[in-house]
Structure 1
């Protein structure tokens, strides 16, 4: 039988690594058949493998003589010593808030969910919770909707589907990249051909092989210049374009206006749409219901938005149906990529028995909601700019309240101690002056 060395001594200054070290010792215990030995032998091997400091910790345990010889009891005491008491509500909140980050691989997202669920006490329903979080948290919202329609979806099927989707998308992007490379190669070849043609023309010009000079043409009929202007055939003809006599349509310089349209000014600065989240998760104080036509629409008040934004799905539910017109604004960008603006319409809205009219831009997005821009919100009286803010702090930057005293337990020990950052040489004198000023004004205690 092969011989196995026990794991290295446990690093007591890193108690968060206790789980990994314990799992490695358990494998060593099974591989060497130590688990079949007496409990007292197993406990001794555990304490010896951990290192000298484990003896002092073992002595602090209040165990009977019989329990000191039971491996599971002693191991449980070490778990209580190294593992702090966890807040299940906080652990679950971290789990439910975890979503796939932009650019993050699906495999890394799934592994993160497994790690976060370790301390959530889900029990037998752990796989169902991980499955639901994958379906809701993935970046591909089209795939998310497809998975939500699957009845009896299991965790294994979910993981397999999202992995295959990521591989297919990667292959499609690779094929598009190869096609772009081919197009660029063709463009380079055409550029080289045009350069050769231009170079040949320069060589012919330098060698004296110039083209024959062009003959001047008549400004009335477009033919070769007449010696006698009175012989021009267009002299008494009527132009079919401007209806004037004396020239043909081919030489008419009148600019005909065929259509007059009104266009909106194009902004040179591209619009950026930052974080757009679910309205139901936001504070109701920052959402407002506005009736457009006869349809109530929920908007989020966004003082940082220059435009009024509506999601295409909401636009399709408006009654009566609104007509979209083409918008000339530049493409809008967001953390998730470029947003497609399908058009705009003039909303005739009603809020608190008052009527308003403002432009709304409709975008195609699976995650965006409706935003009420800064100008419209101000016009409706929903927000107001405050010109002056009274400071709640004193002259020295301290809050005008009674001092707060923090009490610590007598046996409290810091989990970690960090040294202060070094002050650059160029700032040492300024730091000293500031500390003296704070001591003089009783902001900090004198040492």
Structure 2
């Protein structure tokens, strides 16, 4: 690839809150661009002009407000250092380390995301040579997977690379197991609901059959299962109408006679309190039908037998 085809670094982003990290990204990108394009071998004035042209409009305005001397403005390193002081002010290292040690893996945060966040926090703490060990300790202590943390505690030697690999493998395995268990529980719950539904459906069918058993027969007047074979009146002859398959107590002609007599009685002032008594024994047809009437002005009770 030709040198003039290498794209320049993106302009410095001065709008976001994390200006320090934005500046570090821009400076590293510009240093890489100098080496790749061999800009570092050219005259200093060319390097300064290139820096000012790629830093962006907002960053150039900030550079003018810093009021650098002519000597500093003629040196690209001096310009970078002054901008470094502006975008990266003096920090409270103690507070930065507090944020670092207080970091823990969040509920929905993956191991990869947690590693990136801890590395970014560690850059501000100025740990120097022990930075890798501090990152390792924070990852192990802040991981939400207790099984992975216990596993690492048993290791005699554990560097940062091994800690990250162990956390990644165990955490992913645990997550898959939890998903499988959750899926199995969901299937089990659905089966239980289906089984319960089937049981309730069967119970309703049984209840429907039970209701059918409790129905009273209009032919014999008793309660029995469905079917003419279960009816004691089946095949019997009625003593009132001489028709078959019902008892006289359930005969429709008898009911018509009673209604007619009651209607006649309601129109007469001489007849009151008509009372019918049906006497029959279990398994037999009614044998007698009586009526009691109050007659005359003295309201004397007269009992007589009705015949069809």
Output the TM-score relative to the length of structure 1: 0.42
1:117 aligns with 2:122: yes
The residue number in structure 1 matching 2:14 is: 11
The residue number in structure 2 matching 1:77 is: 82
Q: Does structure 2 retain, via aligned residues, the 8 Å contact 1:40–1:68?
A: no
Give distance in 2, aligned partners of 1:5 and 1:120: 31
User: Matched residue of 2:10: which SS?
Assistant: coil
1:154 aligns with 2:140: no
Q: How does 1:223-238 map to 2 (within 5 A)?
A: none
Displacement of 1:82: 2.0
User: Matched residue of 2:89: which SS?
Assistant: coil
Q: 1:59 to 1:199 in 2, by over 3 A?
A: closer
Give distance in 1, aligned partners of 2:110 and 2:25: 25
The residue number in structure 2 matching 1:94 is: 99
The residue number in structure 2 matching 1:34 is: 39
The residue number in structure 2 matching 1:135 is: 140
Unaligned 5+ segments in structure 1 are 214-447
Q: Does structure 1 retain, via aligned residues, the 8 Å contact 2:214–2:224?
A: no
User: Matched residue of 2:202: which SS?
Assistant: helix
Give distance in 1, aligned partners of 2:131 and 2:207: 77
Q: Which has more helix, going by share of residues?
A: 2
Displacement of 1:73: 2.9
The C-alpha deviation readout for 1:35-79, integer Å capped at 9, x for no partner, is: 4432221111111222456267258455563x5443323211211
Q: 1:37 to 1:212 in 2, by over 3 A?
A: farther
The residue number in structure 2 matching 1:270 is: none
Q: How does 1:295-444 map to 2 (within 5 A)?
A: none
Q: 1:204 to 1:57 in 2, by over 3 A?
A: same
Give distance in 2, aligned partners of 1:195 and 1:158: 54
Q: Does structure 2 retain, via aligned residues, the 8 Å contact 1:100–1:139?
A: yes
The C-alpha deviation readout for 1:307-355, integer Å capped at 9, x for no partner, is: xxxxxxxxxxxxxxxxxxxxxxxxxxxxxxxxxxxxxxxxxxxxxxxxx
Moved more, 47-56 or 77-86: 47-56
The residue number in structure 2 matching 1:350 is: none
Displacement of 1:138: 2.0
Q: 1:143 to 1:27 in 2, by over 3 A?
A: same
Give distance in 1, aligned partners of 2:158 and 2:90: 34
Q: 1:55 to 1:195 in 2, by over 3 A?
A: closer
The residue number in structure 1 matching 2:49 is: 44
The residue number in structure 1 matching 2:171 is: 166
Identify which of 44, 51, 57 aligns with 2:63: 57
Give distance in 1, aligned partners of 2:16 and 2:202: 75
Q: Does structure 1 retain, via aligned residues, the 8 Å contact 2:152–2:163?
A: yes
Q: Does structure 2 retain, via aligned residues, the 8 Å contact 1:6–1:49?
A: yes
The residue number in structure 2 matching 1:230 is: none
The residue number in structure 2 matching 1:200 is: 205
Give distance in 1, aligned partners of 2:195 and 2:16: 67
Q: 1:122 to 1:174 in 2, by over 3 A?
A: same
Displacement of 1:13: 8.1
1:184 aligns with 2:220: no
The residue number in structure 2 matching 1:403 is: none
Give distance in 2, aligned partners of 1:12 and 1:171: 41
Give distance in 2, aligned partners of 1:13 and 1:189: 55
User: Matched residue of 1:20: which SS?
Assistant: helix
Unaligned 5+ segments in structure 2 are 216-222, 226-308
Moved more, 202-211 or 114-123: 202-211
Q: 1:109 to 1:59 in 2, by over 3 A?
A: closer
Q: Does structure 2 retain, via aligned residues, the 8 Å contact 1:94–1:116?
A: yes
